[in-house]
Amino acid sequence: MTQITTANIKTYIEGRMERGFSNASINRELSALKRIFHLGARCTPPKVGQIPYIPMLRESNVRKGFFEHEQYVALKNAMSDYLKPLVTFACHTGWRIGETLGLTWDKVDLKQGIVRLDPGETKNNEARTLYMDEELWREIRTLHSRRRLGCPYVFHREGEPIRDFRDAWDTVCENAGLKGMLFHDFRRTAIRNMVRAGVAERVAMKVSGHKTRSVFDRYNIVSDEDLREVARKQQTYLESQILVTDFEANRDSWSSSDRVILDENF
């Protein structure tokens, strides 16, 4: 440990970069190294006398992918039957893939339309309660009616847990013109949809399982359509202000019925 210095760490970083590793991948390794040093320093007696400065790299490769609704529909329709419910659940909830694939029927209340995860079953170790909307509830009820006896998993492949479906995913995405999209992009999609639907951000964080605001904000992606909507709303507001100004300047020349209508609205 005493031989690990800042200079050695910088040399290591340069070597990893020369081998083609991304800044994000290198930072994960550096974070593990930091953790090792801090744990050593907290021992009694301390295993580490001094923690070296460990520089972190700037990350500019954060993904910003999400599915528009028509893309979600096209992708779902092209998926194998055993993956369609999984896609629906991911798009509606924003849950992580491990939480979704590990979901079992004892966590689902079909009568109330609720899915619950207990503390320790989520990445942030906090309990989570999900109230399903109608489409998702209908999908889950259909899955339950077709469930395999002896298989506890909500999402499965012929009664066996779904471990890896990357090949099937990549093939369908390419055929649908969505090459390069990831299943994890549904996490961004769900968050964005909830916020656009008017769901309070702190509530959306509870649904998706985000614990920190900084990470949530990174997933709340702004699209070109969002920016167009800003322009439309601003134009509508400005036009209304022009109408009010014109009305005030020419109130006496307006008919009595027009004055009543404008007074009621403005």
39-43: long-range contacts, CB 8 A cutoff, minimum separation 24: 40/1
pLDDT at 67: 87
* pLDDT the model gives residue 58: 83
Whether residue 53 is predicted with pLDDT greater than 60 in this model: the reply is yes
- 3-class DSSP state of 49: coil
Which of 14-18, 48-52, 176-180, 242-246 shows the lowest per-residue confidence on average (mean pLDDT)? 242-246
Is the confidence at residue 29, as pLDDT, over 90?
yes
pLDDT in tens, 160-192: 999 888 899 999 999 888 888 888 888 888 888
What are the pLDDT digits (tens) for 86-143? Answer: 999 998 888 888 889 999 999 999 999 999 888 777 766 777 888 888 889 999 999 9
pLDDT exceeds 60 at position 217: no
pLDDT exceeds cutoff 90 at 156? yes
Q: How far is CA 136 from the centre of its chain?
A: 17
What is the average pLDDT value for the chain, to the nearest integer? 81
Query: For the packed helices 84-93 and 69-78, what is the interaxial angle rounded to 10 degrees?
Result: 160
**Maximum alpha-carbon separation in the chain:** 89
Instruction: For residue 130, give the H/E element and its range.
Output: strand 128-131
pLDDT in the model for residue 84: 92
Q: Say what the pTM is.
A: 0.58
Cβ-in-10-Å burial (0-12, 13-18, 19+) of 116 comes to middle
pLDDT of residue 231: 61
Contacts of 210 (CB under 8 A, 6+ apart): 124, 191, 216, 219
High-pLDDT (> 90) share of the chain, %: 31
Asked if residue 52 has a cis previous peptide bond (ω within 30° of 0), the answer is no
pLDDT given for residue 36 in this prediction: 92
* Angle at 216 (CA atoms; ends 63, 67), nearest 5 degrees: 45
Q: Of the segments 27-31, 90-94, 228-232, which one has the largest average pLDDT value?
A: 27-31
